[in-house]
Amino acid sequence: MTTVLIVDDQPLQRYGFHLLLDSVPGTDAVGEAAHGAEAVRKAAELRPDVVLMDVRMPGMDGIEATRRIVAAGGRSRVLVLTTFDPDEYVHAAIRAGASCFLLKDAHPEELLAGIRAVAVGDAVIAPALTRRLLDEYAQYAPSHRSDSAEDPRPGSLTDREREILVAIGKGWTNGEIAARFVLSESTVKAHVGRVLAKIGARDRIRAVIFACDRGLARPNAG
């Protein structure tokens, strides 16, 4: 059973999400929050698998709530719902630690697929929305961090692992990586796991940020 905390300042929106989640076997809406502070408190209390997070809310917004939930180090992962406004809020959401981004007008099956993916520890990289968002991130983010030369993590990667990291940074799926390097998807999955462990990334979005910050890749490049 995948447990979900719904966070939105609109009661009707929360009600609709609650009905959807409770109508699908395997998902359970365990709570609701109307603003960020309440979301942080309920995430700590309920320990849901996924937090369905609105961005713009009165008081503490979804960005700060996401940052605090992720920083707490609990099991909950955050799926951000956005209108895809490529502004500081979207980029801040990436930095805050969100694992997935979906449009608020996404089809129910897309939302449910995103929830399932996030619940098992995946970051939803493949959908066009996330690739577009990462493209926007690449435009606003520095090409590499000033301390990247002193960072030993890239040097710990094998040549193959570095290729995999670059491919992740471009937003490629495991299937696309397998096709490019003529590997099985299970082999790619194993490589991805080792890459994430070596660079200290909790999911693929964090790996994308790592690659982009260090000038190793640009989403959709090449």
**Interval 131-145: pLDDT, tens:** 555 665 556 555 445
Q: What is the mean pLDDT of residues 33-46?
A: 96
Residue 125 has pLDDT above 50, yes or no: no
The rounded distance, in Å, linking the Cα atoms of 143 and 216 is 9
146-171 pLDDT, tens digit each: 455 577 888 899 999 999 999 888 77
Which residue type does 51 have? Answer: V
Single-letter code of the amino acid located at 70: V
200 Cβ partners below 8 Å, 6+ apart?
Answer: 153
Q: What is the pLDDT of residues 170-216, one digit of tens each?
A: 778 788 899 999 999 899 989 999 999 999 887 777 787 788 777 77
pTM (two decimals): 0.70
User: What is the rounded average pLDDT for all residues in the chain?
Assistant: 82
Dist. CA 49–CA 75, nearest whole Å: 6
**3-state SS, residue 121:** coil
For residues 22 and 67, the answer to whether their CB atoms sit within 8 Å is no
